[in-house]
Structure 1
Amino acid sequence: MVNILTNQNSIANHYIAELRNIEVQSDRMRFRRNLERLGEIFGYEISKGFDYEEASISTPLGEAQTELMSSQPVLATIIRAGLPLHQGLLNVFDQADSGFIAAYRKTKKSGEFEIYKEYEITPDLNNRVVILSDPMIATGRSIVLVCKDLAAQFKIKQLHIVAAIASEEGLEHVKAFVPDCKLWVGAVDDELTSKAYIVPGLGDAGDLAFGSKAGEDGHSK
């Protein structure tokens, strides 16, 4: 199942527009904050599908009956680009456990690339709801690699994947190889360049949020 925020007009359109806008992107703090805002919207929408149970809350004047989440999800993200989106989700699920994963691509001289995962720290994910965030899904290869590795280690109850922008090709790749996940995307773009960058996309989310880096090409795959 794919849920796309911009399929219905909302304030999310403004946040995504600013993320894409080359004139606004020069303000790193605003770029990070817009990813954070999207994370908060995604968190709210995802929470509607969770399990809830009755609870009684004591107020100064009596008892209030309500429904509260029966358990907290685990929030996992692909560092470094995913950190602002992760923070937005954490603002919503403020008692959630967190996991952090390092995955990156390495481009060969031929122009081809491989995806590597070198770091992972998570709580026990068995029978847990997991929300995995990464701002961009281009080819979908890095998300699929991470999901396969997690599935080999844990029996995850339910997996949600959150991204600000995805390509059509990337979504199809994720749906094909992680068919049981629920995808939450801000906007979907049609085109990938020959180097597998999303067009129009927004550029390198990690660099825009935290500054340029030496060495490896950091565009999400």
Structure 2
Amino acid sequence: MTLNILSRQNTVLNKFIAQIRDREIQRDPMRFRRNMERIGEIAAYEISKTLRYTPRIVETPLGQAEVAQIDDSIVLATILRAGLPFHQGFLNYFDDAQNAFVSAYRKSTKDGKFKVKVEYISCGDLEGKTLLLVDPMLATGSSLVLAYEALCERGGTPAHTHVASVIASEQGIDYVTNHMPHQTTTIWAAAVDEELTSRCYIVPGIGDAGDLAYGEKI
């Protein structure tokens, strides 16, 4: 399984990561959503370099041009609700992709722990396709793996899966590595943090991505 950490490159991506982390800047929900979208666009561009291409002829007003175009049949999936702005960034670039959505939530228990429950899936055919499973926060990794399993149960097995996150924890990366098909999964993270709190929030992280994008939930 390959891991790509995009912030290790000196690019404009790091500006957007800094802004979504900054507790003063992130108070503006519109700016937070837009920065999530921008990071999604950059990640989509990086992933696009790894896909399969075939040269095709395009008719111009003055003749013909040969242009390499993507062969992969792409399915773009995210987990509601926090994943929506990040997903939109990918959709801006893979604008003809099929889309899939998973609703998952943490069901707390009396001892303060929680289990992740998948509640809703909207998914088409995945068999033999390229799945881009995008979720801004890869904390424990359990939500993402459950989402992947639920999508495969509904739509079939993709030929390759690209897992993309904005902020990942080392624990989350390890969990995905150990619980998803090793030969057909690639992990992409804009940044990786070392620590998780007792409530499984990434530190230093950004806080709750869904709340920052759409307002606090009750």
Q: TM-score, normalised by structure 2?
A: 0.95
TM-fit CA distance, 1:102: 0.4
For residues 26 and 201 of structure 2, the distance between their equivalents in structure 1, rounded to whole angstroms, comes to 17
For residues 148 and 83 of structure 1, the distance between their equivalents in structure 2, rounded to whole angstroms, comes to 20
For residues 57 and 108 of structure 1, the distance between their equivalents in structure 2, rounded to whole angstroms, comes to 58
**Secondary structure class of the residue paired with 1:160:** strand
Compare 91-100 and 142-151 and name the one that shifted more: 142-151
For residues 47 and 73 of structure 2, the distance between their equivalents in structure 1, rounded to whole angstroms, comes to 12
Cα deviation digits, residues 24-47 of structure 1 (max 9, x gap): 011101100001001101111111
**Secondary structure class of the residue paired with 2:39:** helix
**Letter of the 1:117 counterpart:** V
Compare 186-195 and 148-157 and name the one that shifted more: 148-157
Cα deviation digits, residues 44-100 of structure 1 (max 9, x gap): 111111111111111122111111112441100001000001000000001111001
**Letter of the 2:62 counterpart:** L
Aligned to 2:111: 110
Is residue 199 of structure 2 the alignment partner of residue 195 of structure 1?
A: yes
Cα deviation digits, residues 152-184 of structure 1 (max 9, x gap): 341211101110001001100110001331111
**Cα distance change of structure 1 residues 71 and 169 upon mapping to structure 2, 3 Å threshold:** closer
For residues 164 and 32 of structure 1, the distance between their equivalents in structure 2, rounded to whole angstroms, comes to 12
For residues 21 and 101 of structure 1, the distance between their equivalents in structure 2, rounded to whole angstroms, comes to 28
For structure 2, the residue ranges without an aligned partner over 5 or more in a row are none
Cα deviation digits, residues 3-31 of structure 1 (max 9, x gap): 11111111110101100000001110110
**Letter of the 2:5 counterpart:** I
For structure 1, the residue ranges without an aligned partner over 5 or more in a row are 215-221
For residues 78 and 195 of structure 1, the distance between their equivalents in structure 2, rounded to whole angstroms, comes to 19
TM-fit CA distance, 1:189: 0.3
TM-fit CA distance, 1:106: 1.5
**Letter of the 1:196 counterpart:** C
For residues 147 and 122 of structure 1, the distance between their equivalents in structure 2, rounded to whole angstroms, comes to 11
Where in structure 2 are the equivalents of 1:33-44 lying within 5 Å? Answer: 33-44=34-45
**Secondary structure class of the residue paired with 2:25:** coil
For residues 151 and 71 of structure 1, the distance between their equivalents in structure 2, rounded to whole angstroms, comes to 18
**Letter of the 1:209 counterpart:** A
Counterpart of 2:208 (choices 186, 204, 216) is 204
The number of residue pairs the alignment matches comes to: 214
**Letter of the 2:34 counterpart:** R
Identity %: 49
Asked if structure 1 preserves the Cα contact closer than 8 Å seen for 2:137 and 2:166, the reply is yes
**Secondary structure class of the residue paired with 1:25:** helix
Where in structure 2 are the equivalents of 1:21-40 lying within 5 Å? Answer: 21-40=22-41
Cα deviation digits, residues 100-126 of structure 1 (max 9, x gap): 100111222211110100100111111
**Letter of the 1:157 counterpart:** A
For residues 117 and 186 of structure 2, the distance between their equivalents in structure 1, rounded to whole angstroms, comes to 24
